[in-house]
Amino acid sequence: MTRRFAVPAAVLAVLIGAGVFAWSTRETSDEREIRSRLDTLRNEVNTSTKDGIGVALHAAQIGSYFTEDSVVELGEGAAPIKGRETLMGMVARLQPRTAAFRLDLDDVSIEMVPGDAADVLLTASFTRRNISTGEESLDAREYALVMTKADNTWRIARITAIDTLR
């Protein structure tokens, strides 16, 4: 190849590479919507409030991301949390403690399944700040979620903690 064509060829190769990358990582509108729902849920969890009405509203807001009959399985030794009402009650009670936490969601992969449902796999990281020392500690865990779509809204029907190390 002559020098004359070296630069256009390199630019073309980069453009083709970027195009292939964009094509391979494209998402459907439902996948984008699920990702967006999880992002807003994370933001909602990270919003802290302490006054009574605020706590109740906050719990209700988080509850709206779950189906009425949702189930949360936190793993061996912990009883499953069944139903949105139970979950909201727990969120309200835990609020003063969760205010010291920060939730991050990484490596979210979504697989659409027939019947307006989706299987989601993600890593949730909880960063806890020690109020007295200011030190942060990180606890990460993998979760499998089942999400369903009703009334044009995606909600979490089931969360199951996965034991990476058994």
CB of 42 to other proteins, least distance (A): 14
* 109 lines the binding site for other proteins (CB under 8 A): yes
* 10 lines the binding site for other proteins (CB under 8 A): yes
Using the contact rule CB under 8 A, the part of the chain among 35-43, 90-98, 141-149, 151-159 near other proteins is 141-149
Nearest-5° angle of CA 113, CA 162, CA 118? 15
DSSP per-residue codes, 11-43? HHHHHHHHHHHHHHT---HHHHHHHHHHHHHHH
**Residue partners of 104: CB distance under 8 A and separation at least 6:** 42, 124, 125, 127
The answer to whether the beta carbons of residues 126 and 138 sit under 8 Å apart is yes
Nearest-5° angle of CA 34, CA 90, CA 147? 20
- Distance between CA atoms of residues 65 and 72, nearest Å: 13
* 121 lines the binding site for other proteins (CB under 8 A): yes
* 74 lines the binding site for other proteins (CB under 8 A): no
* 24 lines the binding site for other proteins (CB under 8 A): no
* 142 lines the binding site for other proteins (CB under 8 A): yes
HEC readout, 41-74? HHHHHHCCCCCHHHHHHHHHHHHCCEEEEEEEEC
Using the contact rule CB under 8 A, the part of the chain among 7-15, 48-56, 83-91, 148-156 near other proteins is 7-15
Applying CB under 8 A, among 7, 22, 53, 79 the residue interacting with other proteins is 7
* 12 lines the binding site for other proteins (CB under 8 A): no
* 48 lines the binding site for other proteins (CB under 8 A): no
Count of positions on this chain that bind other proteins (CB under 8 A): 26
* 2 lines the binding site for other proteins (CB under 8 A): no
Tokens representing 162 are 């996965």
Q: Where do contacts with other proteins occur on this chain (CB under 8 A)?
A: 3, 6-7, 10-11, 14, 17, 106-109, 121-123, 125, 137-138, 140-143, 162-166
